[in-house]
Structure 1
Amino acid sequence: MPGSDAPSLGLRMAMELRALILLPLCFPGLQGQSPEVQRRREGDALYFECPYTAQTEGWHIKYWCLQKGGRCQEVVNTYYGHEKKFKDGRIKIEDNATSKTLFINMTDLKAEDSGTYFCAIYQHYNQYIPLRVVTLDVFKELLKWELDTLAVQCPNSNSVVWCRREQTDCTVLVEGQTSSRRSAIQSLQDRASIKYAQETPTVTMEKLQTQDSGVYWCVVGSEHTQIMEVVLSVFKRTQQHTAEESGNISVQCHYKIAAYGAASKAWCKKEEGNTCNVLVTTSSEPPAGPSTAREGVRIQDDTQQGTVTITMEQLQVQDSGVYWCALQERSGLFRMEEVTLSVSKALTPGGFPDTEGKSRKILLGDSPEPSSNGNTFIILSVVLLILFLLALITSIALGVRHYKLLGRTGHREAEDTSDRPEGTAQPGSAGRRESSQDDSQGPAYINLDVQSQPSPQDPLYCNVEPSQAHRNPQHVEYAVIAFNHSPRSGRE
């Protein structure tokens, strides 16, 4: 189909509308009916009901038809009330006379099952009474990883066009592409191809990327009629790494040896937009895109294991960002894996960030550097031990001093008692009575100490208990009272 334009969505809708207009003309019973649209992915099922009226109850043969050119292409029918199956048993029909309803069940749907269907009652001479119409859209849903290869077999056709559906039309990728469309998706067109094997066309798309996700059609004929729809979702592999400033990291990315063992590999940093700045590459040729060499970045490709290893040394905070392991080709870079790197400031031994951006270490011999929590615990333990020792020493000193004071006080009291004349009252001492064990056998004495110096005119009293006064005393009890008078001037 060289020179033909891309099939537009509006053209396809016009063709379907024309078919729907012809359908009521061939089947008047469908006039006024709006076809339902049922969208299913491959492997799903369609369950459809077609009620009918009592007027048609006597007609037993009912059909499930695929509309082709305004006519009924029989898919499955009921013959004398018996259920019949289509091909491999995926489609069956059942007539319930009690509920006056025709049931259609299509299981394990395939992309080639897409089309406009209707259920009908056979009248005579290839005449049908349509009951209900539905447009079935069955699509393939494919999930792929980046750098995977897509291979899709379109239904048998001698001329197949592979296009990508956009908002208003379908942009052709293989066969019939126009120059106005090639520049917009040149990379995707270079990776798409159609090959025929035993008259079966196979569409291939290589080096898939996330931006390849979308809806694709196989279309045929001069009118570009859709025969299959593919919904493609491409996912990227990701890694996340964290490191401290002045540290190192090592990143490994894997690939399929058979497909990409001989390809050049690159390590680039994602910039604004879709630009990825190449830092290091295994290719001897300069990259097609932007490139900036950076010291301390090395790349090694192990083609035996299918592994690319990237090493970055002396990391800085500004090295944080998004990086790609990528295939490097003349047409550009194709991402293998996306790596997110986060570099944080190094911490000092005290647990605070180094404001100068350099890590400082204090080494004590060959022992490892303790953590900040360990340092704090040791310091607190030493301080508490010192305080405890000080408290213990202070308590012992106070106890010894108190003991010595008590000893001295007792010695002085003993000296004062021995030096004081017996039976003499001293000023400042309390009055007390001393007697022998038996008052009746010896004289009794009363020593009276006066706290203050009395005046000669002040009377003195001596109280004697009645028990101590004998009616016939044989001994005389007396009291000796002594005063220490202070000298008075001019008086005697």
Structure 2
Amino acid sequence: MAVELRALFLLALCFPVQRRREGDTLYVLCPYEVWTTNHQAKFWCLLRYGECEEILRTYYEFSMQSKDRRIEIKDNTTSRTVSITMTDLKVEDSDTYFCTAYNSYKREYPQLRTISLNVFRELLRWELDTLAVQCPAGHGMVWCRGGQTGCTAPLGRQTALKESETKSLRDRASVKYNPQRALVVTMKNLQVWDSGVYWCALGPERSRKMEVVLSVFRRTQQHAAKESGSISIQCRYSIADYRAVSKAWCKTKQGEVCDVLASTRPASPAGTSTARGGVRIRDDTQQGVVTVTMEQLQVQDSGVYWCALQDGSGLLRMEEVTLSVAKALPPGGFPDSESQSEEILLGDSCSGNTFLILSVVLLLLLLLALLTSVALGVRYSRLLLATGNREAEDTSDRPEGTAQPGSTGRRERSRDDSRGPAHINVEGQSHSSLEEPLYCNVKASQAPGSCQHLEYAVIAFSQPPRTSRE
């Protein structure tokens, strides 16, 4: 065993591993030295006992392809590099490869570059599904499970399991040769813990010929109910595979096995059985449906349950069910102190979001009020401006008083016409000459509060007598 591990370790050091998923592409560059001329052939080989098992060859700048057109080789004489492309990789392509060119000086085919190609097949399955894998033909092929560095747990040899051994749920793996001498592996009733890396191994050195990465997922359900209420849960199964197998309803406990609460017996008339704790289970073998009913639920009934297959060897999960039972409100309609504390905690957790929302709303209202105030102010200023213009127009339209010749005076009118007529005081002063300009000062005084009769007079100015001096 130590020799095998040491050989695998040295192989990994000498030949770098190229790991690819099935269907991917591998691209390899192989530079060659000056001693290799352009007209010499370059090869892409499988490593067999230290020798070249030719796959493809090329000359000069020619590009050559395999028959299935998945492999191509080309020589770039300018950069002195041979390029190899392998497309649509298959798990059967897993092997050790190298590229080479003839060395005319040493008369040999040196390995320009060597790689170990590992193509794995990725498989996704649900619990209780079946996995079937056919390994490449080869004498002494076995089925192994482990990590990426060695075969740790062979599951079978050349002989197949007996028919009686496959009836147990725990005897889920069958490894046997088909008529073409290829190893066929069948794994039934898959579970999550079956996920891992598997491979077909050949010979005492356990060299990998085909790798499988298996991922198994559980089927799940989630249900919520109220205290003192009831719930009905259904789980489906394959009628062809599990019609005759007993079904069970169990609750998991941390660090313990699943505790069976109810189970079915195919021999019973209706496919039902008596269950404890208000739990009933019914198996409809015609539809392939298991129905579980739980009544008078309590808060402590919350947890993780299984719909499971059951036989003498134990339980295999069909589906995982998560049940949450909430405490019911008291008759008064108010929650108790415990639920109140939960609500307070919930309110505390939401207070930050509530404060943020209120702040945004208040900010929007403030901006709206500010915009409204600005709009009203602009409208009021425009109204005042329009009123002032009208008053100015009214004043300019009224005729002003005209002073009579030979007098001076002033005339003013009240700015507030609505307060009644204003008294006009005319002050006259005689002039010595008619050529001199006349001035009239009109003063407006507020009309008295009481009504008074107004008398109008015509004022005429007479020319003063001329003196002899003139």
TM-score by length of 1: 0.60
2:144 is matched with which residue: 150, 158, 163?
163
Change (3 A) 1:259 1:46: same
Residue in 1 that maps onto 2:209: 227
Q: Where does structure 2 lack aligned partners over 5 or more consecutive residues?
A: 160-167, 268-273, 340-470
Q: What amino acid maps onto 1:142 in structure 2?
A: L
The superposition leaves residues 55-111 of structure 1 with CA deviations (integer Å, 9 ceiling, x where unpaired) of: 324343111111111111111111454322224111111111222221111111111
Residue in 1 that maps onto 2:53: 73
Answering whether residue 109 of structure 2 is matched by residue 128 of structure 1, we say yes
- The alignment of Structure 1 onto Structure 2 pairs a total of residues equal to 325
Identity of aligned residues (%): 56
The superposition leaves residues 288-314 of structure 1 with CA deviations (integer Å, 9 ceiling, x where unpaired) of: xxxx95232111111222111111001
1:342 is matched with which residue: 296, 318, 324?
324
Cα distance in structure 2, aligned partners of 1:68 and 1:198 = 23
Q: Where does structure 1 lack aligned partners over 5 or more consecutive residues?
A: 1-7, 21-32, 178-185, 286-291, 358-492
1:194 is matched with which residue: 158, 161, 176?
176
Q: CA deviation at 1:169?
A: 4.6
The superposition leaves residues 131-177 of structure 1 with CA deviations (integer Å, 9 ceiling, x where unpaired) of: 11211111111111000000001001243211211586511211289
Answering whether residue 81 of structure 2 is matched by residue 101 of structure 1, we say yes
Residues 226-245 of structure 1 aligned to structure 2 (within 5 Å):
226-245=208-227
Cα distance in structure 2, aligned partners of 1:150 and 1:172 = 16
Residues 203-214 of structure 1 aligned to structure 2 (within 5 Å):
203-214=185-196
Q: What amino acid maps onto 1:132 in structure 2?
A: R
> For the Cα contact (< 8 Å) 1:322–1:339, is it kept in 2?
yes
> For the Cα contact (< 8 Å) 2:140–2:158, is it kept in 1?
no
Q: What amino acid maps onto 1:243 in structure 2?
A: A
Q: CA deviation at 1:12?
A: 4.5
2:251 is matched with which residue: 246, 269, 274?
269
Answering whether residue 328 of structure 2 is matched by residue 329 of structure 1, we say no
Residues 295-334 of structure 1 aligned to structure 2 (within 5 Å):
295-334=277-316
Residues 351-366 of structure 1 aligned to structure 2 (within 5 Å):
351-353=333-335
> For the Cα contact (< 8 Å) 1:19–1:70, is it kept in 2?
no
Q: What amino acid maps onto 2:329 in structure 1?
A: L
Answering whether residue 222 of structure 2 is matched by residue 248 of structure 1, we say no
Cα distance in structure 2, aligned partners of 1:308 and 1:197 = 40
Answering whether residue 35 of structure 2 is matched by residue 55 of structure 1, we say yes
Cα distance in structure 2, aligned partners of 1:68 and 1:146 = 41
Cα distance in structure 2, aligned partners of 1:91 and 1:155 = 20
Change (3 A) 1:203 1:43: same
Q: What amino acid maps onto 1:247 in structure 2?
A: G
Q: CA deviation at 1:254?
A: 1.0
Question: Does the residue aligned with 1:172 lie in a helix, a strand or coil?
Answer: coil
> Between Structure 1 and Structure 2, whose CA radius of gyration is higher?
1
> For the Cα contact (< 8 Å) 1:346–1:354, is it kept in 2?
no
Cα distance in structure 1, aligned partners of 2:169 and 2:241 = 18
Change (3 A) 1:261 1:293: closer
Residue in 2 that maps onto 1:64: 44
Q: What amino acid maps onto 1:99 in structure 2?
A: S
Cα distance in structure 2, aligned partners of 1:51 and 1:188 = 54
Residue in 1 that maps onto 2:124: 143
Greater Cα offset, 142-151 or 46-55:
46-55
Residue in 2 that maps onto 1:40: 20
> For the Cα contact (< 8 Å) 1:57–1:100, is it kept in 2?
no
> For the Cα contact (< 8 Å) 1:173–1:188, is it kept in 2?
no
Cα distance in structure 1, aligned partners of 2:90 and 2:57 = 20
Greater Cα offset, 311-320 or 344-353:
344-353
